[in-house]
Amino acid sequence: MPPAPAAEPTDTDDVRAAAAGDRQAFHRLYRLHVDRVYGAVYRLAGFDHARAEDLTQDAFVRAWQKLSGFRHESSFGTWLYRLAVNVALMDIRARGADPVSMMAEDDLPDRGETPFCAAEREELERAIGKLPPRARAVLVLHDIEGWRHEEIGIELGMAVGSSKAQLHRARGLLRKVLGESA
């Protein structure tokens, strides 16, 4: 009878090994989770590839540094995702994002220009990328990532009502940018 194939290390095994300094285990965790992390920070970074790559790397560096403190109360993927979102939100704060700033009217397309189509991903990404950073963060976290207003309020340091107002404002700005009627 042939020997049983070696079992693939589980996420938990790799987390424990990486916390003990095993770089190969951390590399496996990186490969497993990098796409989800990049996707989240890419949207929060206003669809700026270079910035999203930097933030993704920052998130994994921070994860490596904090791995010994991971308490296994949630899955590693959930912990890493929250850490990455926090890295992106700290970047928004560091750039001096004003939660009540508005887009300049010059940034909005004239109605006579080629109309935007919301079904076209590139146009939608560009439109979301033009939103003020805090409004974009609320829109991405709520409408794309599925966070509740209570969670957004805690992470962004705002009241639940402010989160709801930012979401309403972001959606209105998107409609305006995309040429849809409010």
Q: Which domain range does residue 159 map to?
A: 109-182
* C-beta of residue 131 within 8 angstroms of C-beta of residue 46: yes
> What residue has token string 């309020």?
153
d(CA 63, CA 77): 11
- pTM value is 0.64
pLDDT of 146 > 50? The answer is: yes
Query: Helix (H, G, I), strand (E, B), or coil: what is residue 127?
Result: helix
Using a pLDDT cut of 70, give the percent of the chain over it.
Answer: 79
Residue 77: give its domain's CATH number: 1.10.1740.10
Are residues 92 and 30 part of one domain? yes
Q: How confident is the model over 118-142, as pLDDT tens digits?
A: 346 777 888 888 888 888 999 999 9
- 5 found inside a domain: no
Share of the chain above pLDDT 90, in %: 41
CA distances from 135 to 84, 85, 105, 128, 169 (A): 19, 15, 16, 9, 7
pLDDT value at residue 124: 81
**Overall number of domains in the chain:** 2
How remote is the C-alpha of 50 from its chain's centroid?
Answer: 14
What integer pLDDT is reported at residue 138 of this predicted model?
Answer: 92
Q: Which amino acid is at 114?
A: T
Q: Is-contact 176 113, C-beta < 8 A? A: no
Q: What is the pLDDT of residue 62?
A: 95
